[in-house]
Chains A and B, each alone.
Chain A
Amino acid sequence: MEGHSHGFGLASPSWRANLDVVVTVLIARLKVISRYKGSLVMEMFLPVVFAAMPILLGVAVGGANAGQYFQANTGTSNFKLYMLIGACTFSVVSIMLWLVGYWIRREQETGTLESIYLAPARQVYVLTGVTIYSLLRALLAFVVSLVIGSLVFGVNLLEGNVLGAIGILMLGLLPLWGLSMLFGAFIMRVKEANSVINVMTWVVSFLMGVFFPIAMFPPLLQWVAAIFPPTIMNDAMRASMLNLSTFFGSWYISLAVMFAAALTVPLVGYGVFTFTGRSVRRKEGVGQY
């Protein structure tokens, strides 16, 4: 059957048109969050509150020797910075999981998912806009929380290799994105997504060793945690900023594992996500919530 050439966008969109999609999605989301200023502020302070709890617990347990005992168990006496890094890294992980992994469900909840699917823009470009937005929010929360936390707890961020830690964070964001996609695929299938995500968030924080070294786990659980990309990221960042050795003992191995994760996890995650999306569309349609 012959096509009729009316309107825009029937030909393959140019790279400019695709870039326009990415930028528009990003700007729209930034506009929305700017109208929820309280949420942004809360996001900055949350890691500080989370870090405060194990810090105060530690002071209660160890008293004046808290630092000394902590060093015996972890290799560093700077437990405040240790907890702060863990809490801030966890906040990055949590933001990515919620903003990227949950974005389809959120669009379903607001009733805009069908409108997005009705448009010819490829989902990958919409997702790119969502991802960039999530990264910006995550990184902003990370940096600001770290600075606020350092002032509240009186720790010197510049003692260790801050640039190295930021580099590790950047590398760790790739497999984290892939995990978010796997997460998102799971959410598409599950009806009670909120509850599952709440638990998954705590599972992730537990496996990451947000408040303790994973060396304290039983051996099997240690290795399960160790191959989990956010754990490696958290461990390596602490090692960088606190001059500790990594879980794998050698920097090279940690970096090699992180690179391998950065290459494989995003591909697997995106593949599962798109496959699940098509399957859901075949069975129920995209608007179902």
Chain B
Amino acid sequence: MHTFLDMSWKTILEYSRYPVAFIAMFAQIFLIVFMFIFATMAFRAPGEGLANHATFAGVMIYGTVTNLLLSFTLWDVGFSIREEQVRGTLESLYLSPARKFANLVSRVFVVLLWTGVMCVFAVLVVAAVVGGLPFDNALLAAVVLGFSISGFLGIGFIFAGLTIKLKESAQLLVNGVQFFFMIFSAQFFPFAALRSISPAIVDYVSAWLPVSYCVDAFRSLLVGLPAGYPELAPLSVEIPIVVAFGIVSPAVGYLIYKRAERSARRKGNLGEY
């Protein structure tokens, strides 16, 4: 616990020395949201106002929330190991008696804090532009989000292990995975759009990704379960999938991470750039 608090404080202190980065991230979210809003406006029927698309806007922005959480988890948890390698501080960290898991968990805590604020900001921006967003089933949606985050962290742990092995290629892989989920877990648009391109993509790719169910369940609940939502499966199926993902993923992820770490220590390439 002591290690966790120390390391969390160290991470917060590090981040606080980059105020420009902090502001830049908010500015980035603001711009991305506005770009998507303007892009959407280009497809409105003539004379139609944005308020007619409140549900759609909700689907988009709540899906974006899952994207933000997944992205930050991949980068700040998964890729943080690579950053330590590059900086040359990874070996020093391993030489310290502090528990490595505490290191990871402390990062998680700070990243979630940071990302949570970012998500709230993004939702508020869209709500302001559209003139209000649906916000139903908040408690159940929060539970779904909690298990989803846990599942995402498992993916982050897997990447933390992979970066020890892959080094420079890890960045590429993280980028690739990020984009893969963006499209195939339909984080920015309804699955219906993907289905209109090709139903096979949804049935044979999206439907096999636990992340898709996290996205679908979370946003469907918040927009009030209108007709056609959730899109992949009934809620009674999606929620157990999300819960199972949230429990199994971090356990598997942590095991993979430990294995990769042990292998690197055996081969002696922990500090290798």
Contact = CB atoms under 8 A, between A and B. Distances in A.
Contact, chains A and B (beta carbon distance below 8 A):
yes
Interface of A: 36, 38-39, 42, 45-46, 49, 52-54, 56-62, 65-66, 69-70, 72-74, 79, 190-192, 194-196, 198-199, 202-203, 205-206, 210-213, 216
B35 A206 contact: yes
A58 B31 contact: no
A56 B189 contact: yes
B35 A60 contact: no
B25 A61 contact: no
Nearest to B47: A72
A218 to B, nearest CB: 11
A60 B21 contact: no
A42 B193 contact: no
Interface in B157-186: 168-169, 172, 175-176, 179, 182-183, 186
B36 to A, nearest CB: 6
Interface string B33-74: 011101111111110000001001001100000000000000
Interface residues of B, number: 42
A170 B192 CA distance: 39
B24 interface: yes
A198 B60 CA distance: 22
A198 B21 CA distance: 9
A58 B42 contact: yes
B182 A192 contact: no
Contacts of A65: 45
A39 B38 contact: no
Contacts of A62: 43-45
Given A56-B197, A59-B197, A212-B38, A79 B43 contact: yes
Contacts of B193: 56-57, 59-60
B129 interface: no
B141 interface: no
A79 to B, nearest CB: 7
Contacts of B176: 42
Contacts of A74: 42
Given A56-B197, A61-B44, A212-B42, A195 B25 contact: yes
Contacts of A73: 41-44, 46
A53 B189 contact: yes
